[in-house]
Amino acid sequence: MKIETIVQEHFESLSNVDLSIWKFISNNLEKTTMLSISELAQLCNTSRTSVLRFSQKLGFSGYGELKLIIRQGLQIETPTTSVDLRANMMSDSILDFIREDYSLLFERLSVANRVFIYSDKHTETLVAQYFKRLFFSEDILVYPIWGEHEIRKLSENATQDDLIIFLAMNQDDVILDVLPSFIKRQVFTVNISKQGETIMHKLSDFTISISAEDTKGISVLFVMVELLHSMYQDFMKGGYHDEY
């Protein structure tokens, strides 16, 4: 089914922002297939979240799937196997990831007295451990925090010289409960979670958004942590974003 037909079927549910995004896409179908979600958002004078929401209103899991349908409609060569499709989506996500500006995060990481990372799911905990191992080589000791008791205890003792990373792909009620305490204590808060407008996104000092497609597989999170580490190394050498 062509993208025009899909949009027509969902037309009544689209907002003015959605229609603005669609106007650009419909006039630039082939160009859209080569744009990252951030690039499309910038060209439409809107946010990544709005592009994601538009894609989901059309019944797609995310922007990557929307681009795939456009490519098929234009008869542009598309991935034919699940491996090819996954690799294509990961490539788009990684390019989008490295184009973001992490200067504020890196600056705060470099001067933080203590760095904590909280996760409560097994797979996210593995990613947290990988983050700890990589940044140890940069003389940054990361303290993993697991479970409700530990995070509540930390929320009562953390200081403005600390930094905490919340790694939770889905909304976590425990995080929402303790976050105001960290904010009150002026702790720098970092949120790594699925794309979308959530309370965590709005309240955190810095947010790293992972697309909905990527949260279906944990592997891309390890890749992004490794890229984050490499970009931090460039930042400390004074070469960050000179070549991205």
**Segment (H or E) for 164:** strand 162-167
Q: The tokens of 87 are what?
A: 């690799």
Identify the architecture of domain 3-78 in CATH. Answer: Orthogonal Bundle (1.10)
**Segment (H or E) for 189:** strand 188-194
Region(s) of the chain under CATH 3.40.50.10490? 103-237
CATH of region 103-237: 3.40.50.10490
Region(s) of the chain under CATH 1.10.10.10? 3-78
* pLDDT score at 234: 93
User: Mean pLDDT per 10-residue run, the chain (244 residues)?
Assistant: 90 94 94 86 89 90 84 67 61 74 94 93 87 96 92 95 91 88 96 77 86 61 91 89 58
* pLDDT score at 84: 61
* pLDDT score at 183: 94
* pLDDT score at 68: 83
Nearest CA to 212 out of 85, 49, 100 is that of 49
* pLDDT score at 220: 77
* pLDDT score at 82: 58
* Cβ neighbours around 159 below 10 Å, total: 10
- Strands 188-194 and 142-146, bridge-based pairing: unpaired
* pLDDT score at 52: 86
The structure tokens 């904590």 sit at 116
* pLDDT score at 114: 97
Bridge partners of residue 132, in order along the sequence: none
* pLDDT score at 102: 93
For the chain, report the end-to-end CA distance as a whole number of angstroms. 36
* pLDDT score at 81: 58
